[in-house]
């Protein structure tokens, strides 16, 4: 009877997995909006008169506030100060506001309006520029706000999972959260073109409006999580557990002074810079190399997030029970290099042949395996490197560094794509060889850091190769 009284909410498998389902669903909605425009790039160029440079700058806007206004750093500090549940509500609200602005920018209600006319002659400062369509400028602003929200939600959910699953199935939980979130990417590339082409009338705004509705539901899920987490915290206080030493700003120095932390952070930015910006161009790349429609290219590319979604929980469970986290990071980086080299060199050479789709499909599958190996090992490793009271800020610093890549590389790829395709007006005829080689080079550097991290773990004994589940 006494044991039952001492049992907390996170001791119940049903309740802790229910919490995971709530936060994972909201992240799924966020990932859907993040990539909802990816299969619509040609439509944006034809219907809204954007070009590759406009699209690249719009996509890079995702990380603008996070990088230059240090919103993720502040978000991590806020997370450590006010707790998981309050930060969840704040991040959810920012996602909804940003999504709505993005929808308004590409809707008929914006075109020809007062704001449209105003922005044609103003907002020509970085990251905008003279000649950039006003719809792209406003959509970029919405993406900036949304990016703050979804990245803050990411670090919040990561710390929340640690709170509910520490000493239990933590890597599996993180793997499942990432898997569910990636279903949002698959849904975006599969559903977005269909919604935009519904009724035979092309309308980009319909796809974005669908995302806004989803995010409102996701915000409600965060509200339910708020109630459950508040009850858990009350139980933890009543259980007689010693409160953690409060976070102080000066403690950031402990994070920044850790060499192994910086290895993990740089590995993260290099790896994710070769994945998330790639997603923004992948559908168009497949269209150009395979002569496929957006819908057909989306079906092939959907194997990437869906495959990752299926495999990541299995790898998370393996990591919990067997370990080998540092090794998984190395294998993931190696596979990514092979895939991007195939996109850069093999696909253009096989254009028009039967082998082209086979190589594309195989490479996408391998990339999905890579995208399962790295995140499944990366995020559960952070609690092994920093104190728990610094965890929110540590995740925030990593996400901030990651966002530098997410800001820079879409813009770089957009500029490179325009530079290597001079005079080409048809968005289905671009040559993607150089952009794909850039992504492959990022994988090479990530592989080097993975090898370095494994060597440091062997030398210092951080436990990155050890299982997460503690045996009695």
Domains of the chain: 15-239+249-460 (1.20.1250.20)
Angle CA(312)–CA(318)–CA(324) in degrees, nearest 5? 100
Task: State residue 6's pLDDT score.
Answer: 59
Distance CA 401, CA 271 (A): 12
Task: State residue 42's pLDDT score.
Answer: 85
Distance CA 364, CA 370 (A): 10
The residues near 164 (Cβ < 8 Å, ≥ 6 apart) are: 10, 16, 19, 20, 173, 232
Tokens of 338: 């092979």
Tokens of 328: 């998984």
Distance CA 424, CA 433 (A): 15
First to last CA, the chain: 22
Task: State residue 254's pLDDT score.
Answer: 73
Tokens of 15: 């309740």
Q: In terms of pTM, does the model score above 0.85?
A: no
Among the residues of 61-133, which ranges form H helices? Answer: 64-68, 71-82, 84-105, 114-121
Which pLDDT tens digits describe the chain residue by residue (472 residues)?
344 445 777 777 888 888 889 999 999 999 999 889 888 888 888 888 898 888 888 988 888 888 887 777 777 777 777 778 888 899 999 999 999 999 999 998 888 888 888 888 787 777 788 888 999 999 999 999 999 899 888 888 888 888 888 777 777 787 788 778 888 888 888 899 889 888 778 888 999 999 999 999 999 999 998 888 888 878 776 444 444 445 556 666 777 788 888 898 899 899 989 998 898 899 999 999 988 888 888 888 888 888 777 787 777 777 777 777 788 889 989 999 999 999 999 999 998 889 999 999 999 999 988 887 887 677 777 877 777 667 767 777 887 888 888 888 888 998 999 899 998 888 888 999 999 999 999 999 999 999 998 888 888 877 777 776 665 4
Tokens of 146: 């949304």
Task: State residue 4's pLDDT score.
Answer: 44
Distance CA 281, CA 41 (A): 8
Kind plus residue range of the DSSP H or E element containing 236 = helix 204-238
Closest CA to 398 of 409, 408, 385: 385
> What secondary structure, in 3-state letters, does 10-36 show?
HHCHHHHHHHHHHHHHHHHHHHHHHCC
- Compute the radius of gyration of the chain from its Cα atoms: 22
Residue 365 three-state SS: helix
352: left (phi over 0), alpha (psi -120 to 50) or beta: left
Among the residues of 239-324, which ranges form H helices? Answer: 252-256, 259-273, 276-290, 294-301, 303-321
Distance CA 431, CA 420 (A): 7
Task: State residue 2's pLDDT score.
Answer: 43
């Amino acid at each position: 009877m006494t044991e039952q009284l001492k049992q907390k909410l996170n001791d119940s498998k049903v309740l802790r997995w229910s919490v995971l389902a709530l936060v994972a669903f909201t992240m799924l909605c966020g990932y859907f909006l993040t990539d909802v425009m990816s299969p619509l790039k040609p439509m944006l160029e034809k219907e809204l008169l954007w070009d590759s440079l406009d699209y690249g700058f719009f996509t890079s806007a995702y990380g603008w506030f996070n990088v230059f206004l240090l919103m993720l750093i502040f978000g991590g500090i806020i997370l450590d100060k006010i707790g998981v549940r309050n930060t969840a509500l704040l991040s959810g609200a920012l996602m909804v506001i940003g999504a709505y602005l993005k929808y308004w920018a590409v809707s008929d209600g914006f075109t020809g309006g007062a704001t449209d006319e105003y922005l044609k002659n103003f907002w020509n400062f970085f990251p905008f520029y003279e000649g950039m369509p006003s719809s792209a400028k406003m959509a970029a602003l919405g993406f900036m706000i949304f990016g703050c929200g979804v990245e803050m939600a990411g670090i919040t959910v990561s710390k929340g999972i640690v709170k509910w699953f520490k000493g239990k199935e933590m890597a599996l939980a993180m793997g499942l959260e990432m898997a569910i979130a990636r279903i949002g990417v698959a849904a975006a590339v599969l559903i977005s073109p269909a919604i935009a082409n519904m009724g035979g009338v092309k309308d980009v705004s319909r796809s974005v409006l669908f995302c806004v509705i989803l995010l409102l539901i996701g915000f409600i899920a965060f509200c339910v999580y708020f109630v459950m987490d508040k009850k858990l915290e009350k139980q933890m206080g009543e259980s007689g557990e010693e409160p953690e030493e409060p976070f102080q700003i000066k403690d950031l120095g402990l994070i920044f002074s850790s060499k192994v932390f910086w290895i993990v952070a740089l590995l993260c930015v290099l790896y994710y810079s070769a994945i998330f910006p790639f997603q923004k161009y992948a559908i168009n790349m497949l269209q150009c190399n395979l002569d496929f429609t957006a819908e057909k290219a989306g079906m092939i590319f959907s194997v990437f997030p869906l495959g990752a979604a299926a495999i990541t929980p299995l790898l998370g469970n393996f990591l919990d029970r067997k370990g080998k986290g540092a090794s998984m990071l190395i294998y993931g980086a190696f596979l990514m290099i092979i895939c991007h080299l195939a996109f850069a060199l093999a696909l253009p050479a096989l254009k028009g042949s039967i082998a082209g789709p086979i190589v594309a499909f195989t490479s996408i599958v391998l990339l999905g395996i890579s995208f399962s190996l790295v995140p499944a090992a990366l995020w559960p490793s952070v609690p092994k490197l920093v104190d728990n009271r610094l965890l929110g800020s540590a995740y925030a610093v990593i996400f901030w560094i990651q966002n530098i890549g997410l800001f820079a590389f879409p813009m770089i790829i957009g500029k490179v794509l325009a530079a290597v395709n001079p005079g080409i007006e048809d968005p289905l005829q671009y040559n993607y060889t150089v952009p794909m080689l850039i992504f492959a080079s990022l994988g090479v550097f990530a592989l080097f850091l993975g090898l370095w991290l494994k060597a440091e773990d062997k030398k210092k004994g951080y436990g990155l190769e050890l299982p997460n589940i503690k045996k009695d």
